[in-house]
Amino acid sequence: MANIGIRLLEKSFGRPSGPLGRVGGWLMAWRNAATERHLVDVAELRQQDVVLILGPGPGVGLEAAGERSGHVIGIDPSEVMLTSCRRRCAELIRRGRVRLVRGVADDTGRPAGSVDAVLAVNNVQIWPDWRAGFGELHRVLRPGGRLLLSAHEKWLPGGLPALAAAVEQAGFEEIQTWTWEPPGRGAATAAQLRAWRADG
Ligand SMILES: C[S@@+](CC[C@H](N)C(=O)[O-])C[C@H]1O[C@@H](n2cnc3c(N)ncnc32)[C@H](O)[C@@H]1O
């Protein structure tokens, strides 16, 4: 029974696929929109920044990032979510401000030192290997580049201390953590982190 529950969660939210994945995408676009937009605000993106959005899901944060920066790349392993992003960001894709790539956090396919900012909302808790994931993000960020993470606090294993330790182990510096309350009744507290790749 527990296995069936886990498989349904995976199909709806973890790596959305099929009709359940489409419903999950709709729910996430509704419930997580404020957090997605908030993290884009915190990232203080500039027009010239190259920005990687990991696990954009239905693409709310991807769209917000594409309105600020002209070089946004969304990376997600789910074809259903990539289709949803294509629909939501059609105009930004047409203008060349947003691109989509099928991939995962620990294998982004980006050249070393090519990215100014990496953002991930509500997917760090399901990456299979934090060491590989944060190692890859440290590799693709340029010196001085920034990492921004957000996850539902209640689903983050080990909480912010464990996340900060994994980020530090990968070589990031000036790590800051905090929690943020999204607006709306019953919204889940977001655990958030910002860190930098050392400059030089
Ligand atoms: C819970 S959803 C969150 C979507 C969106 N960011 C939000 O907050 O509404 C998780 C997303 O991460 C993607 N994902 C799953 N495993 C991943 C991985 N290892 N690396 C990057 N993205 C992943 C899923 O396909 C899905 O789109």
Q: Is the pLDDT of residue 11 over 90?
A: no
Percent of the chain beyond pLDDT 70? Answer: 99
Q: How many residues are listed for the chain in this entry?
A: 200
Span between the terminal Cα atoms of the chain, in Å: 52
Query: Token match 């500039």: residue?
Result: 46
Tokens for 78, please give them. 């789910």
Buried-exposed string 180-200: b where 16+ CB fall within 10 A, e elsewhere: bebeeeeebebbbbbbbbeee
Give the model confidence (pLDDT) of 153-164 as tens digits: 999 989 999 999
Amino acid at 127: W
Strand intervals (E) in 57-171: 71-76, 98-102, 115-121, 141-152
Q: What SS3 state is found at 121?
A: strand
Tokens for 28, please give them. 């996430």
pLDDT band per the 50, 70, 90 thresholds, residue 23? confident
Atom number of ligand 1 nearest to Cα 33: 9
**Residues paired with residue 183 on neighbouring β-strands, in sequence order:** none
CB of 159 within 6 A of ligand 1: the answer is: no
**Residues paired with residue 179 on neighbouring β-strands, in sequence order:** 191
Give the model confidence (pLDDT) of 54-94 as tens digits: 999 999 999 999 999 999 999 999 999 999 999 999 999 99
Cα of 24 vs centre of ligand 1, distance in Å, is 11
Pocket perturbation via mutation, ligand 1, pick of 35, 73, 76 by most ligand atoms within 8 A of CB: 76
Tokens for 86, please give them. 């294509």
CB of 28 within 6 A of ligand 1: the answer is: yes
Cα of 157 vs centre of ligand 1, distance in Å, is 16
